[in-house]
Amino acid sequence: MGNGFYETYRNGEKIEAGYLVEALCDKADCTTKIHRGTDALCGETPGGDEYGCGGYFCDADLYMAPQGQIGYRCFLCMQGHDPLEFSEDAMVATFNAGS
C-alpha cells in the first residue's frame, strides 16, 4: 500500500508520483489523462534507471519490456526492440465476418 503518493527525482527535477497522482501522459503529443502508478511507469524504478526513462505513459504509449526484463517501456526506451514486433508467445486471431 504506500505507493499512493510519493515524490521522486527524474532528470534532476522533483515530481509527484503514485497511483493517486493524476497527470497527462509524458509522450509529447499525447493528452491522455493517467495516474502516475507503477503500471504507467517506463522502467523498473521511479525516477528512471538503466532500463527506462522513468516517465509515466498511457496504455497506448507503453509496451511490455523485452524478454528477461521487468515492467514496461516507452517507445524510445525499447533499446532497439520493435514494440510492435510479434513475440514468440503472441496470439493472432483472425475473424471472418460470415461466409
Tell me the one-letter amino acid at 74. C
pLDDT value for 85 = 61
- pLDDT for residue 96: 77
**13-24 and 6-10: which strand pairing?**
antiparallel
pLDDT at 72: 92
Show the cell assigned to 32.
491522455
Query: pLDDT 10s per residue in the chain (99 long)?
Result: 568 898 989 888 999 999 999 999 999 999 999 999 999 999 998 988 888 999 999 999 999 888 888 889 998 888 666 655 655 655 566 677 765
Q: How far apart are CA 92 and CA 96, in angstroms?
A: 13
22-52 burial: b if 16+ Cβ within 10 Å, else e: eeebbbeeeeeebebbbebbbbbebbbeebb
Contacts of 15 (CB under 8 A, 6+ apart): 7, 8, 9, 36
The pLDDT assigned to 81 comes to 65
